[in-house]
Amino acid sequence: MAANQRAAVRKGTRRGTLSRGAIVRAAVALADREGLAHLSMRALAKELGVEAMSLYHHVPNKDDVLDGMVDHVFAEIHLPVVGSADWRGELRRRCVSGREAMLRHPWAVGLMDSRPNAGIETLLHHDAVVGCLRQAGFAWPMVSHAMVLLDAHLYGFMVQELSLPAVDSEELGELAMQMLDAPSVALPHLAAFTSEHVLRPGYRFGDEFEIGLDLLLDAIEDRLEADDGAQR
């Protein structure tokens, strides 16, 4: 949250407009800027320019704030249109926008499906994913398989992407060479992969997300066609 935005929030709270929504938005801004480890009720009160005890008139505890933060992120992700003829496009857009949301809010990756008290945006999101697959013609077991596969790709990729060091292409080359500089071990395949693919101009790890997503959707679509054929 920029200094002028923070001042506006504080001005609003002094006028008695403090609410759960305002608290959650401030918590999201604080976590985006400083990381989830720095989020506390005291720090949140400071962010809002109020006394910590005043927060408890609107939220019972920090867990409720975390639930609200997760719901805030789910609200930023594309909600698949149930019944759309392009079910694949709807789920693809959902996953791509999910990655974009978690790049904006890196702290959210480990929280998205771990909160015991799901908010309305979270529930609506999962309901739409289930409905999109079901209306496309998938049997219930395949709805489950597809959801697990797509979420595993989305969340797993984000854990990996956000764990990578933030380096430019030149630094990436230096880092790769350092990793491969192991005089007691021969690594011909990894060395060839690094020099002939990873270090080529234009390579970005993030581009792998949509390629992998399309491979998964290909497999899911193939299963739908195979199941349809078996029923005829």
What is the per-residue pLDDT across 111-144, written as a single tens digit (0 to 9) for each? 998 888 889 999 999 999 999 999 999 999 999 9
- Domain architecture of the chain: domains with CATH: 3-59 (1.10.10.60), 72-163 (no CATH)
Confidence at residue 168, expressed as pLDDT on a 0 to 100 scale: 62
Interval 35-53: pLDDT, tens? 999 999 999 999 999 999 9
What is the pLDDT at residue 169? 59
Tell which residue, 94, 13, 83, has the closest CA to residue 55.
Answer: 13
According to the model, what pLDDT value does residue 114 have? Answer: 85
| Alpha-carbon distances of 50 from 45, 46, 96, 168, rounded to whole Å | 5, 6, 37, 41
List, for the chain, all residue ranges whose pLDDT scores fall below the cut of 50.
1, 5, 7-9, 12, 15, 232
For residue 5, the model assigns a pLDDT of 47
Position 21 scores a pLDDT of 95
Predicted pLDDT at 8: 46
User: Cβ distance 201 to 110 under 8 Å?
Assistant: no
Which region holds residue 166: left if phi is over 0, alpha if psi is between -120 and 50, else beta?
Answer: beta
Report the pLDDT value the prediction gives residue 151, as an integer from 0 to 100: 96
Amino acid present at 201 = P
pTM for the structure as a whole = 0.84
Using alpha carbons, list the distances in angstroms from residue 177 to 60, 185, 230: 52, 14, 51
